[in-house]
Amino acid sequence: MSDSFNLITFLSLFACLLAGVLFAWILYGKTEHLDKKSRYALAGTRAAGVTLIGFLLFFPLIRNVSYTPEKPIIIIGQDNSLSVGNITSAGFNKSQYEQQMQSLAKRLSDEYEVKIYNFSDSVKSGFDFSNKGKLSNAAQLITKLNDEYLNRNVGAVILASDGIFNRGGSPLYELDKLKAPVYTIALGDTIPKKDLQIANINHNSLVYLDNEFTIEVQAQAFEAKGETSLLSVFANGKKVHEERLPVTSDAFVKNIPVKLKATNLGLQKYTLQLSPLQHEVSEKNNVQHIFIDVIDAKQKVLIAAAGPHPDITTLKQAISLNKNFEVKVVLAEGLNTLNVNDYGLAVLYQLPSAIYDATTFIQKLKATSIPTWYIIGGQSNLNAFNQLQKQVNLNGGNYTLQEAFSTVNTGFTAFNLDQAAIKRIEGFDPLQGPLGKLSVNGNSQVVLNQRIGKINTDYPQLFFMSDDGRKTGFLVGEGLWRWKLSEAAETGAEPEVFNSLISKTVQYLSVKDDKRKFKVYAAKNTFDENENIILNAVLYNDSYDAVNTPDVDIVIKNEEGTAYKFLFSRTDVAYQLDAGTLAASNYSYTATTVLGNKKHTAQGVFYVNAMVAEYQQTVANHQLLNTMSAETGGKMHSPQDLLKLLDEIKSNDQIKTLTYEDRRYEELINFKWLFALIMALLTMEWFFRKRNGEI
């Protein structure tokens, strides 16, 4: 309806009508040869047409107001998690409860708009009483309601749950946004029952081969005082630890440290199990699985030199601080009996030397792919050094030395040096190196440049290169012991920056690059049962450019031997597979593709972990449900009284139909019937005027 009719509108309408009458009088006022009825009919038609045209000119917009009623929305949220179905109170009748919930929804729908959801690890529409959800996330439900029903007439929320929410946090903090009373139906049982469980496990996800590590197991027991359980730990099915666990109280909690040793490489599955007690409510929370990646990062580092030097001891001490490196120092003739293939990195300290010809050893080293770190000093034989490798050339006298301080190249990114470390390094005492011109043949990654006095130069001091795929490092200058002592004197503590710089250098040189042309890897090593399994793949051609032209097939097998076949989808330059959710098990996969006429294969493993969160807490949290109701103006009910909600909601004066007013302006030009009417009036007038001889 229009609310725009006022004095100005009335006068404007009157003016339009007056204009129409005036036009009609001018045209038909002196047409006495027409009969009276025809004259009045034609004059009325002309007056109506001109008046309507005037309306279009004076009223291009018209304001309309409409009213839309909205019934209150009643939202029902049903907890569909495992704990609701497994732990019930005495006298609870599941089938009767389901019938009453459906009856409540039906009777409410007679007067209200009813929306029904079930929630566990996800939120879905409609009732679902199967109670198969692996988690319970009420906060996700409340967030969804806040998003979907913002500024809607939400009358009430009915939440049926046991109050055990193990994901998403407490929903209390989001309830205020709904601005509606929350009526809760208290499911589950608040009476503690006999139960033994592994509540939590603290462990490292990565350990090194042959190292000992500790797993901290938190065991809990309820109503089991005086009983005894047995904690067993299995590594890939083999028992590696066992100890007794006496329960000393009805509310028992104990943290148990378990020391183990990493004896196998790769992703290892450890199963921790508590032997069950008689008549305990659930045995599923007695077992948990953890997954630990065991890697063999320990490498042997060789320091080869012509003779003793303080720098050698300094290097050995700094490298040995990293427990993944085993350092051996070999001097002079001892180098000829070495098996160089036993080492992951060779540090050639001033070799070749002016006092010892190590050409045979260095040639044997160059025949391997072992990374090499050259440290050049006053005892280096520069002529032999220049002949044995082609990456760096030093022209100068062996015995003419110059001091060079260090400046950090801020563009170096192979490893990180923070601002505090940069400042400390640039304050180190100078190294002594051969005086001469330094030429670098090829691409290099410079860590430190030389500073002669106060002049910064472009001559590198510590830098890395690649020699046919083998990493090489160069340090121009001796006197590393001075770096260590200068930092120790400045800080009065262990030279952490010096040790870190040496350790990072050794680690960078010793890490082997992955040169495989076809790689397939899971997004992570372990997935939960409700997570989608994501695998990625990348394929390189002979130029090591990523390509994704050929198809990539994969076969995933569980530990029972059941195979699942998939085809990867292509991304921009790689591949990805979403295999959906899989049941808890150990899985291996084999992926294949063909590029040109060459077949590529990649293999790997991942684990899908059984989720036990719903078995971790067996006592219902009705206090939380009551708080949710009290803070929003609702009320908590037992399942037996849930039909009383119908009368409570109907008697709540705050739950009522709202009427929304909608004001909007519309253009008269959009009313096509108005144009049709004007055209019809003018056409009729023209026709009858012509018929009566007026045209």
* Architecture of the CATH domain 195-295: Sandwich (2.60)
Judged by DSSP in three states, 511 sits in coil
Tell the CATH topology of 299-510: Rossmann fold (3.40.50)
pTM of the model: 0.62
Q: What is the pLDDT of residue 90?
A: 84
Tell the CATH topology of 72-191+620-656: Rossmann fold (3.40.50)
Q: What is the pLDDT of residue 205?
A: 82
Distance, in Å, from the CA atom of 296 to the CA atom of 635, rounded to the nearest integer, reads: 60
Which residue type, as a one-letter code, is found at position 38? Answer: S
Buried b or exposed e, range 255-277, using 16+ CB within 10 angstroms: eeebebebeeeebbbbbbbbebb
Q: Residue 150: CA atoms inside 13 Å, Cβ hemisphere, count? A: 6
Q: What is the pLDDT of residue 1?
A: 40
What DSSP line would sit under 34-77, residue for residue? S-HHHHHHHHHHHHHHHHHHHHHHH-SEEEEEEEEEEPPEEEEE
Sites in the chain below the pLDDT cut of 50: 1-4
Distance, in Å, from the CA atom of 480 to the CA atom of 684, rounded to the nearest integer, reads: 111
Q: What is the pLDDT of residue 403?
A: 93
Q: What is the pLDDT of residue 396?
A: 66
Tokens representing residue 23 in the block:
């036009």
Of 71, 70, 155, 74, which is closest to residue 114 (Cα–Cα)?
74
Rg for the chain, CA atoms, rounded? 42
User: pLDDT per residue over 386-445, tens digit each?
Assistant: 998 889 998 865 567 899 999 999 888 888 888 999 999 999 999 998 888 889 998 999
Q: What is the pLDDT of residue 109?
A: 93
One fold for 72-191+620-656 and 299-510:
yes
Strands 445-452 and 431-440 turn out to be: unpaired
Q: What is the pLDDT of residue 694?
A: 62
Of 134, 135, 146, 128, which is closest to residue 77 (Cα–Cα)?
128
Distance, in Å, from the CA atom of 217 to the CA atom of 364, rounded to the nearest integer, reads: 51
The CATH class of 518-612 is mainly beta
Q: Where are the domains of the chain?
A: 7-67+663-692, 72-191+620-656, 195-295, 299-510, 518-612
Q: What is the pLDDT of residue 684?
A: 80
Judged by DSSP in three states, 207 sits in strand
Q: What is the pLDDT of residue 467?
A: 82
